[in-house]
Amino acid sequence: MQISDQLHRFLFESTSVRGNIVHLDESFSQALQHHDFPAVLSQALGELMAASVLLAATLKLQGGALVLQVQGKGPLKLLVVECTSDLGIRATAKWSEDLGATSFSDMVSDGHFVITLDPRDGGQPYQGIVPVKGGSIAEILQNYMQRSEQIDTRMWLTCNGKSAAGMLVQKLPDRPDNADPDAWNRITMLADTVQDEELLNLAAVSLIKRLFNEEDVRLFKEQAIKFHCSCSRESVGNMLRMLGEEEVADILAEQHTIDINCDFCNAEYHFDQVDAEQLFTAEIVLPGNNVRH
């Protein structure tokens, strides 16, 4: 059964517990294909990508995006993953020095975790920033959800360098568990038995049957996941406008062209003197016709 690049939502009937399962294959490969990341970074990015899909599926983004960042003061400077409301994902990282034998906890020493909800409709983004607490991506996110959102959340993540996968179970605070008060403890104990190989290789229906065989689980239709980078020449041009005409002119005087590479997909954008002049030339629409100067 094909399980690649899919999200599955499920819930435990008559309880306040819901869950998500994610598999990333082609989307993971495409997100990292233009980068030469050390193995430990590829694994961390894979787990963070899986986590972003799991969390995005619990939110009402309505056309927006969820951005997860791990900012470190050690050899790892930045991990960034973005997941849109229609489950388009992209990822990148910045680091210094050799990471050959470095553990994840050492890489992000004295760092911060940042979660951003970007509505992308002109509304105000929401951002939460907390110190990194935990020795893995899953622990960092669980601690954030418990401390900042007060939502009981457990997460299991894995990445073998070629694929990534994960599972989330979450207790909804607005749904009482009167009918089954032990549901959360029982379900999380069962979920804790999951193995990395099972997450990576089992289809969602098989994994749920193996872990929760005696539970009443409703599995919803899968949703496709894809790699998607939102960069464009227009967005780069807007960034240059924010720098200001004078600063752009100074850069051109020194370099003759402005060359910008997207950190996510490695797309190249080039702006020369003529391009820059067009960026800062106001469009004037004359009344009564479509002529523009």
- pLDDT tens per residue, range 160-212: 999 999 999 999 877 666 677 899 999 999 999 999 999 999 999 999 999 99
The token duo for 180 is: 């089954």
Phi, psi of 24 (to 5 degrees): -125, 130
Distance CA 72, CA 74 (A): 5
- pLDDT tens per residue, range 90-99: 999 988 877 7
- Residue listed under structure tokens 């990395």: 196
Q: Using CA atoms in the order 208, 165, 153, 139, what is the torsion angle rounded to 10 degrees? A: 140
| Range 62-82 average pLDDT | 89
Chain mean pLDDT for the chain: 87
The share of the chain scoring above pLDDT 70, in percent, equals 92
By three-state DSSP, how is residue 19 classified?
strand
Look up residue 45 and give its DSSP letter. H
| Burial (Cβ within 10 Å: 0-12, 13-18, ≥19) of residue 240 | buried
Q: Which amino acid is at 293?
A: H
How many degrees, rounded to 5, is the angle at CA 153 between CA 149 and CA 156? Answer: 135
The token duo for 223 is: 């949703």
Q: Which amino acid is at 78?
A: L
Q: What is the pLDDT of residue 133?
A: 86
Identify the H or E element spanning 39.
Answer: helix 39-56
| Range 41-45 average pLDDT | 92
pLDDT class of 114 with cuts at 50, 70, 90: very high
The share of the chain scoring above pLDDT 90, in percent, equals 48
Distance CA 137, CA 251 (A): 39
Q: Residue 292 above 60 pLDDT?
A: no
Instruction: Kindly report the pTM of this predicted structure.
Output: 0.86
Annotate 211-239 with DSSP letters as a single string: H-TTS-EEEPPPEE-EE-----HHHHHHH
Phi, psi of 254 (to 5 degrees): -90, -40
Contacts of 160 (CB under 8 A, 6+ apart): 43, 196, 200
- Closest alpha carbon to 84 in 193, 269, 228: 228
Distance CA 28, CA 129 (A): 26
